[in-house]
Amino acid sequence: MGGDLAPVQIVEGAALAVRDLDVEVVMVGLPDAVLPLLERHTELRFVPATQVVGMEEHPANAIRAKSDSSMSVCARLVKDGEVDAWVSAGNSGAALAASLFILGRIRGVDRPALGSMVPTANGFTYLLDVGANVDCKAQFLVQFAQMGAAYAQGLLGLENPRIALLSNGEEPGKGDHLVREVYPRLERSGLNFVGNVEAKEMLAGAADVVVADGFLGNVAIKMAEATAEYIFRTLREEIPKSMVGKLGGLLIRPRVRAMRSRLDWREYGGAPLLGVDGVAVVAHGRSDALAIRNAIRVAKQSVDAGLVARIREAVT
């Protein structure tokens, strides 16, 4: 029921996932809204909910007041072992609240974190936190680094991932008070800590995992998404303005499409909530069917990699 294009695109994305990913998907939502859409998607199961958390609602209050919201039902299905993971494109704060209240935190984790894949010059960097925790303490960022390393090992296949801090300079003394406090802790953490990175080094692939508080991480990821969209929108507008541009556009179209796919946030699906005691994936509020399909892929990969167990081991 969550997301700008729900429930139609959510259902279509779930059907794509069943077709492509060898998964079983259970749709949770209001019967009147969802059941008519499932008439031509009999491969999808359905579990009803009687309430929905709106995007404008206070996350924690809404989850407390709406025990039969679609989010709460999803989290309970995971808690009860009836499904392996849950995915939502709705109110991200409410998804976090539902996961915390119903699934609980992994022991040793003070604050769960959201991570996101960032395309780089030589692959990808995993950036966290991208919005779950605006105000952070030093130990939170150390835990983010531990959880990010576990994610990179389990889902990205990196045996000894390079961990960095997002800062306004590479030198150890750069950054705000929080970054300067975290730096020596990560040096002593036993992780493969490579120091501070600026945004340009992150995009150049200087680290496999980049750690930031949720405010800075959210600004960074949204700026990266907006920049990519701006570039491609400008190309679409400018290239057809001359005959030479049109001819050149035909020649470069295949490579532009490949580049757009690489930079398209929909290809990365969603972000697992690292640190909750179960697999919960938060998808973008603008998710269409492709993005939902890929968010379900991320959930499946997280389950197959034993992500929760890896994080439990990393933080103890």
Report the pLDDT averaged over residues 149-178: 91
Q: Which residue has the higher pLDDT, 93 or 246?
A: 93
Q: Which two tokens stand for residue 91?
A: 């109110």
* Pairing, β 123-128 against β 209-211: parallel
pLDDT value at 208 more than 70 = yes
Q: Which residue has the higher pLDDT, 266 or 18?
A: 18
Instruction: Please say if the pLDDT value at position 173 is more than 90.
Output: no
- Flag whether pLDDT at 249 surpasses 90: no
Asked whether residue 265 carries a pLDDT value surpassing 70, the answer given is no
More confident of the two residues 191 and 271: 191
pTM: 0.86
What mean pLDDT comes out for the span 95-121? 91
What is the mean pLDDT of the segment spanning 290-308? 95
pLDDT higher than 90, residue 248: no
* Mean predicted confidence (pLDDT) in 52-73: 93
Q: Report the relative pairing of strands 270-274 and 162-166 from DSSP bridges.
A: unpaired
Q: Kindly tell me if the per-residue pLDDT of 147 is higher than 70.
A: yes
> Which tokens in the block code for residue 277?
């005691």
- DSSP per-residue letters across the chain: --STTTTHHHHHHHHHHHHHH----EEEE-HHHHGGGGGG-TTSEEEE-SB---TTS-HHHHHHH-TTBHHHHHHHHHHTTSSSEEEE-S-HHHHHHHIIIII-BPTT-SS-EEEEEEEETTEEEEEE-SSS-SS--HHHHHHHHHHHHHHHHHHS--SS-EEEEE-S-SSTT-S-HHHHHHHHHHHTSSSEEEEEE-HHHHHTT--SEEE--HHHHHHHHHHHHHHHHHHHHHHHHHGGGSHHHHHHHHHHHHHHHHHHHHH-GGGG-EEEEETBSSEEEEEPTT--HHHHHHHHHHHHHHHHTTHHHHHHHHH-
Percent of the chain whose predicted confidence (pLDDT) is above 70: 93
**pLDDT score of 122:** 81
**Among 266, 289, 265, 281, CA closest to 9:** 289
The model's pLDDT over 67-87, given as tens digits with 9 standing for 90+, comes to: 999 999 999 999 999 999 999
- Between these two residues, 117 and 229, which has the higher pLDDT value? 117
Q: What are phi and psi of 219, to 5 degrees?
A: -60, -45
